[in-house]
Amino acid sequence: MKITDPKRIVISRTDSIGDVALTLPVCGILKEHFPNCRIIFLGQKYTEPIIRCCPHVDEVWKWSDLEEKDDKQLVFWLKEQKIDVFLHVFPQKRLAKLIKQAGIPHRIGTSHRIYHRFTCNHRPNFTRKRSDLHEAQLNTKLLEPFGLNKEYSMVDLTNFTGFRAPKLENEELKSLLNSDKKKVVLHPKSQGSAVEWSINDFLKLAGELDAEAYDIFFTGTDKEAVHFRDQLPEASNIYDISGKTSLVELIAFIGEADVLVAASTGPLHIAGLSGIKAIGLFSTVRPIHSGRWKPLGIKVLTIEDEKNSTSPQPLDIDYRDVLQEVQKSS
């Protein structure tokens, strides 16, 4: 049963920033084939600024707003939305059950979730765990019920995001970008989402970059900054903006920079989509390796460790290798 001429499609990805970033191409692909359909993205409240950078998304629903409803209320509300297709990119058992109860005609979810056998009437057969495909490519496998079976390249998928970073409005942050130096963003932590490079290596990298040629900005949340803020050298070209930006401001600031260095975490994906040089630091262990989670983008470079590090062991990457790649961007 092929899905034709859908009017309202909900794409559900209620996990983290990087996961959402790698789902945005699905929005662009659907808009290309069904230009008159309305694309609704269901995500977490904190990922909304990322979703709104995608021009193919017409409406954003926040899971926190829906989650607080009881099952009966949520089913009633869903029925009122007149949804044609619900796409479970990130599976949730409760949500899958309620979407079926709401009578949504087309319900798409991977066949490898047992509860989708009873809740989804379209179940593309693929596995993420053992696949050699990138996460963004795997997401497109869920489009098979629309008759969309193309193998998309990473360049294709980057273009389909249509990502547009917001304009930086914060005057204090804008003033930090006034110099003619190269702007390097260092994002040392990942809120536990990735195997990280050591703080010491980030500090070595910052110390080796010529102060006359580079301005360096450390970013992160206030909670993350506890791990490195007191160790930052007092140098005229090193700035600590961790905990001082909203996500919207961070996206805008990254878009104005030249280079970002980070492990496999949200800001790395933001940098890739923004078109700046994104240097990603990865473990080679599957399924967290760069082949699965490399950011989309035209200036993305990944460096993998040599000892297959897994958390809590830091990535075994020589800071001089990263330094060399940062300097190549000059």
CATH number at residue 151: 3.40.50.2000
The total domain count for the chain is: 2
Per residue in 235-289, pLDDT tens? Answer: 999 999 999 999 999 999 999 999 999 999 999 999 999 999 999 999 998 889 9
- 8 Å CB contact between 41 and 13: yes
Q: Are residues 214 and 316 in the same domain?
A: yes
Strands 106-108 and 85-88: parallel
Q: Which residues of 165-190 are buried (b: 16+ CB within 10 A; e: fewer)?
A: beebebeebeeeeeeebbbbbbbbbb
Whether this model's pTM surpasses 0.85: yes
Report the helix count and the strand count for the chain, using DSSP H and E.
16, 11
327 burial (CB, 10 Å; 0-12 / 13-18 / 19+) is middle
* Burial class, 130, CB count within 10 angstroms (exposed 0-12 / middle 13-18 / buried 19+): exposed
Same-domain check for residues 155 and 67: yes
Among 138, 161, 184, the domain-final residue is 161
**Contact (Cβ atoms closer than 8 angstroms) between residue 278 and residue 264:** no
Which structural domain range is residue 30 located in?
A: 8-161
Pick from 141, 161, 181: which residue ends a domain? 161
Whole-angstrom distance, CA of residue 76 vs CA of residue 136: 33
Using one digit for the tens of pLDDT, what is the confidence trace for 86-118? 999 999 999 999 999 999 999 999 998 999 999
Q: Helix (H, G, I), strand (E, B), or coil: what is residue 141?
A: helix
In a domain, 304, yes or no: yes
Q: Give the DSSP letter string of 188-206.
A: ---TTSSPPPPHHHHHHHH
pLDDT at 49 over 60: yes
- 2: in domain: no
> Do residues 103 and 78 touch, judged by C-beta distance below 8 A?
no
**185 and 148 belong to one structural domain:** no
**Domain stop point among 161, 190, 224:** 161
| Same domain as 294, residue 196 | yes
Asked if residue 45 and residue 14 are part of one domain, the reply reads yes
